[in-house]
Amino acid sequence: MLKHKSSDEIILILTFLLLVSNLFWLMNPKSVTKCNTTNSNKKNVQIFLLAGQSNMSGRGGISRKVVGGNVTEIWDGFVPEECKPNHKIIRLNAAQKWEEAHEPLNYGIDCLSSCGLGPGMAFANEILKKDTNFGVIGLVPCARGGTGLYRWNRGSYAYDDLIKRTKLALKDGGIIRGLLWYHGEGDIRTNNGSSSYKIKFEKFVNDLRSDLNSPNLPILLAILPYPKKPFEGPYIEVVRAAQLGINISNVIKFDAEGLEIGSDGIHLTTPAQIQLGQSNMAGRGGVIKKIVGGNVTKVWNGFVPEECKPNHKIIRLNVAQKWEEAHEPLNYGIDCLTSCGLGPGMAFANEILIKDSNFGVIGLVPCARGGTSLDKWRIGTHPYDELVKRAKIAEKSGGIIRGLLWYHGESDVKGGNGYKDYKINLEKFIHDFRSDLNSSNLPIFQVILPYPKKPFKGPYIEEVRAAQLAINISNVIKIDAKGLEIGPDGIHLTTSAQVQLGHMFAHAFLSLNNFTSSITYNFFNFFPF
């Protein structure tokens, strides 16, 4: 970990671009549960447990058909490239034997004909793509569709089978690296299940760690997305609040809100299961669409301009809440993995150090959450609470929070009610954030949205821009991005535009002492054509 004195400067950065949480920090070499592997015939397997309800067991690609006069659920058989078998991915099957893993991953555990795709294979393939030396990944599917949380109490069949299968997996040698948990679909239906969800889940975590003799076992907890009709989940807010309120070490929460839900209103589609396994995106410079195995996927082109290169004086707070040398993609692991691209953060920090070589260490704290409208940044929501939490963790290391970089509004220009109250909601966000950080004059560097272009549709761009321009709060420095180059999707900035935006942020920050009121910086002031 990089050391820095209490006088060093921490720049709190929020470059708000696109969506959820890093799974790869589990690749760190520290072992969670080790087994005796002295027998050369035993595998040194990197074991991941998959448990919860039907979305973890997998319902991607499931549809209803009438067979013999009866309605039945069947899988369409489609396996995307991201979910294809790999000789380095194995699964513990229903007969408690290791075999090469394949979709449907949960077949035989709690489903036969109606098994579909879950996130497990996409998750494992993504790890191996990023780290070819990771070793053999052993997936232990244990999900049980339709099980309320009370069905996961110690002594219940679902819980005891999870423990049993985990211990059988360990007999062949290996390391338990974590539990992937997606659950709650049944508990949002009733008050009985939802009201005690937090207490029951905390007990489940403690019992599981105790029974596996692994007190720090990482738990990757999916926060339930909002269902849609025809599914009825009147207690969704209660369960989401309970999940977000979990405060146990090594429980890593990531919000599934925004993932595509199928026609039944509760189960994720196949593309959404892939996203859940891979996570999603924030920072889109250099992100392009490619056809892989007949499917369109988004990938970063890997290009890092000179202005965005690493510097030993620039560090970032990663998803494990540890400081590390910053690098692109800066938002990697916060809410994206494969399709992370470049944002303005590295260009911003490098530009400051060019202008002032004595500035000190710059700490970047990425907190962007793609696809979130402004109403998702209220007190009590996951993005807002995570922003405050990460800011306070950063401060504990010693330093000064020098400002918040804010780029937002892409979702609100599409429609709904977000554009109507945008000014009021943004002003409330600023006041709440400053209050929670006890920093009444915290500088906010607010981007005014550029005009989108086709194919993106943003009919309310004028309303949102007007609301952003009308903000009249001290130490809110507005930077108009109008004129910056937009990529082919019509809304996200290109790599060169992200570099320019980073420089604009830096110039505004370095000139801050000259500001006495809310001022708008226009793109053309910095980069005339």
Calpha distance 201→224 (Å, rounded): 14
How much is the CA Rg of the chain, to the nearest whole Å?
24
pLDDT in tens, the chain (529 residues): 343 433 344 443 332 222 222 333 333 433 334 333 333 334 589 999 999 887 786 666 666 666 677 766 666 777 788 888 999 999 999 999 999 999 888 888 876 556 777 888 888 888 888 778 888 999 999 988 878 888 899 999 999 999 999 999 998 888 898 998 988 888 888 887 778 889 999 999 999 999 999 998 988 888 887 887 877 878 888 888 888 888 888 887 777 766 677 777 765 665 655 554 543 223 344 555 555 455 545 555 677 888 889 999 999 998 888 899 999 888 877 765 445 677 889 999 999 999 888 888 999 999 988 778 898 899 998 889 999 999 999 998 888 899 999 999 988 898 877 888 999 999 999 999 999 999 999 999 999 999 998 888 889 999 999 999 999 999 999 999 888 888 888 888 888 888 888 888 888 888 774 433 333 333 332 332 2
For the entire predicted model, the pTM comes to: 0.51
Contact 334, 319 (CB under 8 A): yes
Could you confirm whether 255 is annotated as catalytic? no
Say which of 161, 207, 264, 385 is annotated catalytic.
264
- Apex 43 CA angle, 39 and 45, nearest 5: 140
Could you confirm whether 411 is annotated as catalytic? no
The residue written with tokens 């109606």 in the block is 114
Say which of 267, 382, 503, 507 is annotated catalytic.
267
Calpha distance 492→101 (Å, rounded): 37
Could you confirm whether 480 is annotated as catalytic? no
Say which of 21, 54, 373, 439 is annotated catalytic.
54
Q: What is the dihedral of CA 243, 244, 247, 252, to 10 degrees?
A: 90
Instruction: Look up residue 35 and give its DSSP letter.
Output: -
Calpha distance 525→40 (Å, rounded): 67
- Interval 338-359: pLDDT, tens: 456 778 899 999 999 998 888 8
The Cα-based distances of 154 to 171, 202, 343, 364 in angstroms read: 22, 12, 46, 42
Calpha distance 181→246 (Å, rounded): 13
Calpha distance 420→180 (Å, rounded): 39
Residue by residue, what is the 3-state secondary structure of 344-382? CHHHHHHHHHHHCCCCCCEEECCCCCCCCCHHHHCCCCH
